[in-house]
Structure 1
């Protein structure tokens, strides 16, 4: 098997051309707005079997994020070519995480920066799929419906401004947990720092409404589509932490990690009623 830690790739787009570069080669100026101000958007795409079977959903979300942040988008064909360049020859036996970054570049009407990074999926991410995660709930400090009427807060955009998200995960780690579920000021469920919340209750799969300003989950959308086709009803539900506590099962879903079952919530152990295998099987379709 190929050693995952030895495999890293970078590709850049400039002036309509795409090229793969050495992963240690500088590709972004220090004056790039994405670096200096976090002014950009991104997507993380799973590479499996040397391919990116879920790319189209991520292209659509990247477009939406660019629109919400008024970023110039070079077009889906440019992103497809960029991803193809960085994935070309990737070992089929190594799962990869391909991150596509689109920034405002130097600003003032200059071309955007578009690049892709590819590395092996971390072993800890793979572990969390199979053994589950401990989660704490943290308030995001905003009312559930506020971001829907405050476009300057960029609700629903997958931006590079992840400092708060990473700080929340560090807080969770310090508390002996793996991850976080954010709640609104009044206690409604929102999302994880890098994931979508899904729970099973009453014979249905549930997820919080996107009108709260959360990021629309590509993995959650795929799961719900396959679940409905498999006779498992789904619902968009304005839930609370109490709903997660009473649920048959809870998962955090993301494109790279897939469905990670929550095995402990705010310090209290919980099970999954044997439903995780079904969820993970649905996501392989």
Structure 2
């Protein structure tokens, strides 16, 4: 069973070339207070994060998550993270993850208001039991995100392609989905373009071709989606990034929400309309996602 662990990180400059960052880490009690009350991550959600799945002591897709952390930092005008330092912090946390499935979270905040430096920390904990959504599937509703698909290019300050700590809208969308009798949601733009789920990427199957919405619409590029596309290509399937209309969702031969910890959750209904569900194929996807992946 995975155990809880927390580590405060004194962020090193991105050009710091040392090989040992141990003196920049402070292990803290994961159940005790650790942040300054003026911390901007809690006051404004001003920061970025990554959630990395851990399976039987193996951290999944470390390189992809660190690359996305650096990309989010660039979009948010945060200091570039020293990826060697973060990798060492992940290794330290991995020693405390134990057996089963866990999740390691990397958090980089703008820091204390009027402070000189960002705040950074890492946590690890047991992952929730997602066996039911992986096997029985989930019901979703489509929700208007309130922007058109061209908004990210016109207004990059919306930070739609960054994984920020500002998840209030994402959580509100999931609560709205549950109020409508569903398990999760898919965001759709005001001009009828499928975007993403609040905490997952969307993958659709049309015959032997698998499609995900093009990331140019401000979609967070999913690490699990990228890995799954590589796996599907190795199995001989075609994979594409496309502009997907909301109406085409129901024309798909299969659909999944994929993310780092829940993995592949097959969609069994969209807005109350039942979807076909190949349980055996979904099981094969999750078997791959549970295997060690670097």
Deviations, residues 136-190 of structure 1 (Å, cap 9, x unaligned):
0000010112112211101210000000000000011111111000000011100
Total equivalences in the alignment: 279
User: 2:118 matched to 1:122?
Assistant: no
Partner of 2:249: 244
Partner of 1:19: 26
The alpha carbon displacement at 1:77 in A equals 1.6
- The equivalent position to 1:32 in structure 2, one of 39, 44, 51, is 39
What stretches of structure 2 of length at least 5 have no aligned partner? 13-23
Contact kept in structure 2, 1:130 and 1:260, CA below 8 Å: yes
Partner of 1:83: 90
1: distance between equivalents of 2:244 and 2:42? Answer: 36
Alignment RMSD, CA only? 1.6
Partner of 1:162: 167
The alpha carbon displacement at 1:223 in A equals 0.9
1: distance between equivalents of 2:32 and 2:70? Answer: 28
Partner of 1:68: 75
Identify the range of structure 1 (177-186 vs 8-17) with the bigger mean alpha-carbon deviation. 8-17
Contact kept in structure 1, 2:11 and 2:119, CA below 8 Å: no
Residues 253-272 of structure 1 aligned to structure 2 (within 5 Å): 253-272=258-277
Contact kept in structure 1, 2:212 and 2:242, CA below 8 Å: yes
Partner of 1:151: 156
Contact kept in structure 2, 1:18 and 1:81, CA below 8 Å: no
Classify the secondary structure of the residue corresponding to 2:149. Answer: coil
The alpha carbon displacement at 1:9 in A equals 1.4
The alpha carbon displacement at 1:109 in A equals 5.8
User: 2:285 matched to 1:279?
Assistant: yes
User: 2:97 matched to 1:101?
Assistant: no
1: distance between equivalents of 2:47 and 2:239? Answer: 33
1: distance between equivalents of 2:177 and 2:221? Answer: 23
1: distance between equivalents of 2:10 and 2:32? Answer: 15
Contact kept in structure 2, 1:18 and 1:85, CA below 8 Å: no
With structure 2 as the length reference, what TM-score do the two structures score?
0.90
With structure 1 as the length reference, what TM-score do the two structures score?
0.93
Contact kept in structure 1, 2:135 and 2:283, CA below 8 Å: no
- The equivalent position to 2:53 in structure 1, one of 46, 53, 66, is 46
What stretches of structure 1 of length at least 5 have no aligned partner? none
1: distance between equivalents of 2:272 and 2:149? Answer: 25
- The equivalent position to 1:203 in structure 2, one of 200, 208, 223, is 208
